[in-house]
Amino acid sequence: MTLVVNGEERKIDSSRFKTLGDLLNDLRKERQNQVVKRIVVNGVEVPLSRLDEAKEIELREDLVVEVTFESLKVFLMETIEEVLNYISKVKALLSSVADVIVKGTPESYKTIHDLAEGLNAIENVRMNTVRITGITSEELGLKVKEEELVSILNELVEVLQARDLIKVADLVDEKLPTVFGYYEDFFTKARELLRETYS
């Protein structure tokens, strides 16, 4: 089997590892403070969001596996930049998103789904940032308190469960800017703290 790690190619005996997960676990032992940034199997990129599934891929001699590792700090900074760009775009669209939701069309439900997925992804990055760095919301002195954020998100869940699209649209238009503002403030301040700490 051909293994390419950060551009360096080598042949390995695929029988040493049963699955891609076994191979990745072995590679990680050599790379402390690094994370997997990209995996390509036979020319097809494996989305990191599907990494758990990909770990079950059985290794064979005819496979070419490419793995790119990156330092945790660089990866976190890049991810924070991506999240801040996403937040900026979504905040600018919230009023038009609310208009789409209130129509009750299939596009409305897709929009709600996409918005929920985006919020979930942002929260996952926030939790990982806290876990990796130890930074807390209190330490950053955020304008919006976590309790207010949780209250708005709970209210959103309630109106989604009730399938009240008018209330969902109102929340998106009136209260989600506060939620995205919280995340924007968190990631902006976390980025600055990381720059100071690691420069």
Query: In the structure, what pLDDT confidence band is assigned to residue 198 with cuts at 50, 70 and 90?
Result: low
Query: In the structure, what pLDDT confidence band is assigned to residue 101 with cuts at 50, 70 and 90?
Result: confident
pLDDT at 156 over 60: yes
- What value does the mean pLDDT take over residues 169-189? 93
Residue 39 has a pLDDT of 93
pLDDT at 37 over 60: yes
Give the integer Cα–Cα distance in Å for 195 and 199. Answer: 6
pLDDT at 33 over 60: yes
Residue 177 has a pLDDT of 94
Give the integer Cα–Cα distance in Å for 37 and 127. Answer: 18
Domain ranges of the chain: 2-70, 74-198
State the alpha helices, DSSP H only, in 103-175.
106-133, 137-140, 146-161, 165-174
Bridge partners of 10? 3
Query: In the structure, what pLDDT confidence band is assigned to residue 7 with cuts at 50, 70 and 90?
Result: very high
- What value does the mean pLDDT take over residues 192-199? 78
Contact 76, 104 (CB under 8 A): no
Question: Is domain 2-70 classified as CATH 3.10.20?
Answer: yes
- What value does the mean pLDDT take over residues 101-109? 86
Give the integer Cα–Cα distance in Å for 157 and 155. Answer: 5
Residue 66 has a pLDDT of 95
- What value does the mean pLDDT take over residues 40-65? 90
Residue 199 has a pLDDT of 55
* Residue 13: CB atoms within 10 Å: 9
% of the chain beyond a pLDDT of 70 = 99
- What value does the mean pLDDT take over residues 58-69? 93
pLDDT at 15 over 80: yes
